[in-house]
Chains A and B, each alone.
Chain A
Amino acid sequence: GESVGLHLPTLSVQEGDNSIINCAYSNSASDYFIWYKQESGKGPQFIIDIRSNMDKRQGQRVTVLLNKTVKHLSLQIAATQPGDSAVYFCAETEKNNRLAFGKGNQVVVIP
């Protein structure tokens, strides 16, 4: 909701620059990861996913990188636009088929 972005790490990015958002996950057995975008006052939207047998996946203007050695996931947004301002969070699968969600990072695009 409106207050989701409070108390979160914030990344300020100049419009047109690339953004990198990081996520550390905890379960080395997770086989699927998702990045979500949540704009103020709205529900999360699916951006991109990646399976554990891959280390990189590209979408439109977004790339997800997976480093299983250090249990790290990153989301790269190319040519960041004002509409990219939002909270971004990762999710990983748990043993019981459920998703565990990260706390998120607030991205603020400076025009």
Chain B
Amino acid sequence: DGGITQSPKYLFRKEGQNVTLSCEQNLNHDAMYWYRQDPGQGLRLIYYSQIVNDFQKGDIAEGYSVSREKKESFPLTVTSAQKNPTAFYLCASSMSISSYEQYFGPGTRLTVT
């Protein structure tokens, strides 16, 4: 069963702690993306990766970091420097960076108190 998985579905952290969100895909896609979704707003791009060992900042990269050591995996770390980390985080992938059709994971709801 091909697709994108994100874990966990819900995550709770105390302010000041770093937290890493998992994203795995078995679609053999080269490109992967992380978005943040807040109520009443469109998806905003945090980071994206065109290929293994490469990644680029999106529109709201401050306070976040990523790695792309394997094609299948694109974990996102929300650092303590992120001023407003509570949000719904969505991972997506596409065949290549020039392919517009992106497939989304189920999302992780992060709550920081």
Contact = CB atoms under 8 A, between A and B. Distances in A.
A45 B104 contact: yes
A72 B80 CA distance: 40
- Prevailing SS type, chain A contact patch: loop
A43 B37 CA distance: 10
A6 B102 contact: no
A28 B109 CA distance: 34
Interface of B: 4, 6, 35, 37, 39-43, 45, 48, 58, 88, 90, 92, 97-98, 100-107, 109
A32 B14 CA distance: 41
B37 A1 contact: yes
A7 interface: yes
Interface in A89-111: 89, 93, 97-104
Contact of A102 (B37, B39, B42, B107): B42
A8 B37 CA distance: 13
Contacts of B4: 43
Interface of A: 1-8, 32, 34, 36, 41-46, 49, 89, 93, 97-104
Return the 9 tightest CB-CB contacts between A and B, nearest first.
A7-B40, A1-B88, A43-B104, A101-B42, A101-B43, A6-B39, A3-B39, A44-B104, A43-B106
Nearest to B44: A101
